[in-house]
Amino acid sequence: MTIGLIGVGLIGGSMALKLKEKNFAQKIIGFDKSEVHLLMAKDLNIIDEITTFENLVQDSDLIIIALPVEATKVVLPEVLDRISDKTVVMDVGSTKQEITNIVEQHPNRKNFVASHPMWGTENSGPKAATSEAFSNRAAVICNHEDSYDFAVELVKQVYENLEMNILYMDADKHDVHTAYISHISHITSYALANTVLEKEREEDTIFQLASSGFSSTVRLAKSHPEMWVPIFKQNKENVLDVLNEHISQLKKFKSALEKENFDFLEELIVNANRIRGILDK
Amino acid sequence: MTIGLIGVGLIGGSMALKLKEKNFAQKIIGFDKSEVHLLMAKDLNIIDEITTFENLVQDSDLIIIALPVEATKVVLPEVLDRISDKTVVMDVGSTKQEITNIVEQHPNRKNFVASHPMWGTENSGPKAATSEAFSNRAAVICNHEDSYDFAVELVKQVYENLEMNILYMDADKHDVHTAYISHISHITSYALANTVLEKEREEDTIFQLASSGFSSTVRLAKSHPEMWVPIFKQNKENVLDVLNEHISQLKKFKSALEKENFDFLEELIVNANRIRGILDK
């Protein structure tokens, strides 16, 4: 099978490496608006061939769109305009509602499968790609009833080859859950970094003292705006909803401290500790 | 040298394992209010011998107090009351101001060295101890001018054997910096866990979808209240100061989203990205 990869960064690159390793893809052809990334991806054996957008759409059995979510909204309809009956198109974006909405009425909608492999790092670009990325993580396939069965089946095989756990979910539900589980973590981490940068003017001290705990909570603050501004934009309502809750949770800690109500503080922490039982099942 | 370990949990246990591995300690005797932890520590070869508080103080060349910081405030003066001229006493607590204040006027103050090895995990107890804990992390020695030179020298050797980078700092400065670098991370993480637990009633969904990003920001929320309530209590003013800043940073994200001011959102993220340059020096 020939796979056409639109976007040869962290996610697309990592998928390509694994799908070639598994021999699921015989040939991977790539297109990216960044010439530098394309050359890098060829060098790193992420893609076998650099091609044009038109040739990629024409020559691929499966097209993977691995772009920031605002770009996906533009490129996906352009791809669907040009594909053959048998071509399957998938995206891998962190939001699903706006992306599925935009192609809802497209005559080739059923060739498209909306999905989201839940993995990422704070790094980006083809150099950050790794074939060990996705194992044992969740891959969500959304609104599968709007896609051809053969298309869903192929995308399922993609995620099986990436060794992911496949879940089916409505796009609107997906966007609610990812606001809780993923998007708010990034806002928290960005805000934490900005807090420390605002309060701690001695950068050397940050560097010298940074504990593993700090590094862990602030890791996501290294993530690029090119990816995250579009996600927050598309998932604005859900993210705002969770962000409001998060601010009110922080205010409980503030109130407990201000009033020296250490029993309440303990209660808040004991409640938070429940996350251990859920994550370490 | 015989080391007396008061508190055989994660931090004390990890120090003991490494100091024995390095042959810095010939014998480690232990005391803990938990009989279960003492037996566990003996089983795990963290300590060679279980002893009483009185015998530990009498028989040790170096006494390491590795207790939650409120307990340290009680135990430290009791230890100093009973030591010989040559005994060195160190603590390893995450706050330094109240601990140094409480023994400021003690006749044996100079036998005590206040310090803080900046490492920890979300786990606790002797079973979580590991000899690989401290390497390349910062160890802060506070108010060293209030201690005998020979005492500071010995504690310096302890941290050198733990392969840590030693910094000297005033206790008040230490508490300001750790509020930024460590304590606020824990509050953020607790509040994030409480947010998700409040909003996301489907625990299975949290478990299934939890991305590496979420796990990373929420990891510290597993940390026990026994350790953290006392830290927040002792460092209340500094923590509140940073917490207020953190809430106002989060409100900037909220405002950018509400007003759909995506340029401002990008600006906030670009600023947060600066943490990469500082942490990855």
Per-residue confidence (pLDDT) for residue A281, from 0 to 100? 62
- All residues of chain A having their beta carbon less than 8 Å from the beta carbon of residue B262 are 229, 232-233
Burial category of A61 from C-beta neighbours within 10 Å (exposed 0-12, middle 13-18, buried 19 and up) = middle
Which residues in B lie closer than 8 A to residue A205 (C-beta atoms)?
177, 181
Interchain CB contact of A255 with B (< 8 Å): no
Residues of A in contact with B265 (CB under 8 A): 225, 229, 232-233
Who wins on pLDDT, B220 or B153? Answer: B153
Angle between helical axes of B69-82 and B225-234 (0-180°, round to 10) = 80
| Residue A200 to residue B220, Cβ atoms within 8 A | no
Mutate to test the interface with B, among A159, A189, A192, A202 (most CBs of B within 10 A): A192
Window 170-189 of A, Cβ < 8 Å to B: 177-178, 180-182, 184-189
Cα–Cα dist A135/A133, whole Å:
6
Provide the 3-class DSSP secondary structure of residue B205: helix
Distances (CA, A) of B57 to A53, A98, A234, B4, B62: 76, 67, 63, 7, 9
Closest approach of A157 to chain B, Cα-based (Å)? 19
Q: How far is A214 from chain B (nearest CA, A)?
A: 6
Contact call for A278 and B203, based on CB within 8 A: yes
Q: How far, in Å, are A120, A223, A238, B31 from residue A226 at the CA level?
A: 14, 9, 20, 54
Here the tokens at position B264 are 């401002």
Nearest alpha carbon to residue B217 among A248, A199, A181: A181
Confidence of residue B142 (pLDDT cuts 50, 70, 90): very high
Q: What is the pLDDT of residue A195?
A: 92
Which of B129, B145, B169 is at the close of a domain?
Answer: B169
pLDDT of residue A198: 87
pLDDT of the residue at A214: 81
Is A211 close to B251, i.e. CB distance below 8 A? no
CA distances from A218 to A215, B61, B93, B122, B224 (A): 5, 40, 23, 16, 20
**Looking at A131-145, B64-78, B206-220, which range is the least confident one?**
B206-220
| Shortest Cα–Cα distance, B82 to chain A (Å) | 32
Rg for chain A, CA atoms, rounded: 21
Query: Does residue A130 contact residue A105 with C-beta atoms inside 8 Å?
Result: no
Q: What is the pLDDT of residue A1?
A: 95
- Neighboring chain B residues of A199 at a CB cutoff of 8 Å: 180, 241-242, 245
Q: Which residues in chain A are contacts of B123 at CB distance < 8 A?
A: none
Q: Examine the domain organization and report whether B15 and B141 are in the same domain.
A: yes
Please name which of B250, B252, B229, B227 lies closest in space to residue B239, comparing C-alpha atoms: B229
Q: Are residues A105 and A24 in the same domain?
A: yes
Q: Which pair of tokens denotes residue A255?
A: 């109130």
Domain final position from A169, A201, A218 = A169
What is the Cα A67 distance to its own chain's centre? 10
What is each CA distance from B94 to A187, A210, B109, B116, B154, in whole angstroms?
A: 27, 13, 19, 6, 20
> Does A202 share its domain with A165?
no
B217/A185 touch (CB, cutoff 8 Å), yes or no: yes
> Which of A195, A211, A274 faces B119 most closely, judged by CB atoms?
A211
pLDDT at B62: 98
Instruction: Give SS3 for B211.
Output: coil
Query: Which CATH number does the domain housing residue A11 bear?
Result: 3.40.50.720
Chain B residues 102-121 within an 8 A CB cutoff of chain A: 118-121
Q: Which residue of B has its CA nearest to A140?
A: B209
B245 in contact with A, Cβ within 8 Å: yes
pLDDT value at residue A230: 97
Q: Are residues B146 and B194 in the same domain?
A: no
Neighbouring residues of B246: CB distance < 8 A, sequence distance ≥ 6: A191, A192, A195, A250, B184, B187, B188
CA dist., res. A266 & res. B9, Å (int): 20
Alpha-carbon distance A177 to nearest alpha carbon in chain B (angstroms) = 7
- A121 with A202, same domain: the answer is no
In this predicted structure, the answer to whether residue B112 has a pLDDT above a threshold of 70 is yes
Q: Which residues of B touch A221 (CB under 8 A)?
A: 272-273, 275-276
Compute the C-alpha angle A150/A167/B190, nearest 5°.
Answer: 155
* Dihedral sign, Cα of residue A105, residue A110, residue A111, residue A115: positive
Give residues 16 to 45 of B whose Cβ lies within 8 Å of A.
none
Q: Are residues B200 and B257 in the same domain?
A: yes
CA distance A60 to chain B (A): 30
Same-domain pairing of A111 and A187:
no
The residue from B169, B190, B224 where one domain ends is B169
Name the B residues in 143-172 with CB < 8 Å from any A CB.
Answer: 165, 167
Which residue type sits at B198? E
Instruction: Find the closest chain B residue to A255 by CA distance.
Output: B240
Same-domain check for residues B57 and B160 = yes
- Number of domains, chain A: 2
Both A29 and A151 in a single domain?
A: yes
Report how many Cβ contacts below 8 Å link chain A to chain B: 315
Whether residue A218 and residue B279 make contact (CB cut-off 8 A), yes or no, is: yes
Whether chain A has a CB inside 8 Å of the CB on B258: the answer is: yes
Confidence band of B46 (pLDDT split at 50, 70, 90)? very high
The answer to ipTM > 0.95 is: no
Closest CA relative to residue A113, chosen from A62, A65, A151: A151
Which residue of chain A comes nearest to B179, CA vs CA?
A: A196
Q: Taking CB atoms and an 8 Å limit, are A207 and B278 in contact across chains?
A: yes
Nearest to A106 by CA among A123, A89, A120: A89
Please, where are the H alpha helices in B52-119? 53-59, 69-82, 97-102
pLDDT tens digits, chain A, 281 residues: what are they?
999 999 999 999 999 999 999 999 999 999 999 999 999 999 999 999 999 999 999 999 999 999 999 999 999 999 999 999 999 999 999 999 999 999 999 999 999 999 999 988 888 899 999 998 999 999 999 999 999 999 999 999 999 999 999 999 999 999 999 998 899 999 999 999 999 888 777 777 777 787 677 888 888 999 999 999 999 999 999 999 999 999 999 999 999 999 999 999 999 999 999 998 888 76
Look up the CATH number of the domain holding residue B218. Answer: 1.10.3660.10
Chain B residues inside the 8 Å CB shell of A276: 122, 221-222
B260 residue type, one letter: E
Confirm or reject contact between A259 and chain B (CB < 8 A): no
pLDDT digits (tens, 9 = 90+) for B231-265: 999 999 999 999 999 999 999 999 999 999 999 99
Q: What is the pLDDT of residue A211?
A: 67
Same domain, residue pair A183 and A137 = no
Domain hosting residue A193, numbered range:
174-279
Encoded tokens for B122: 């979300």
Residue B281 has pLDDT above 70, yes or no: no
Record: contact B243-A222, CB cut-off 8 A:
no
pLDDT grade, residue B55 (50/70/90)? very high
CA atoms within 13 A on the CB side of B266: 10
**pLDDT tens track for B6-30:** 999 999 999 999 999 999 999 999 9
Distance CA B212, CA A130 (A): 15
pLDDT of residue B211: 67
> Chain centroid to CA B185: how far?
13
Mean pLDDT of B28-54: 97
* B22 and B132 part of one domain: yes
Same domain, residue pair B156 and B229 = no
Q: Which amino acid type is present at position B211?
A: S
Distance from CA of B83 to the nearest CA of A (A): 32
* Mean pLDDT score, B85-113: 98
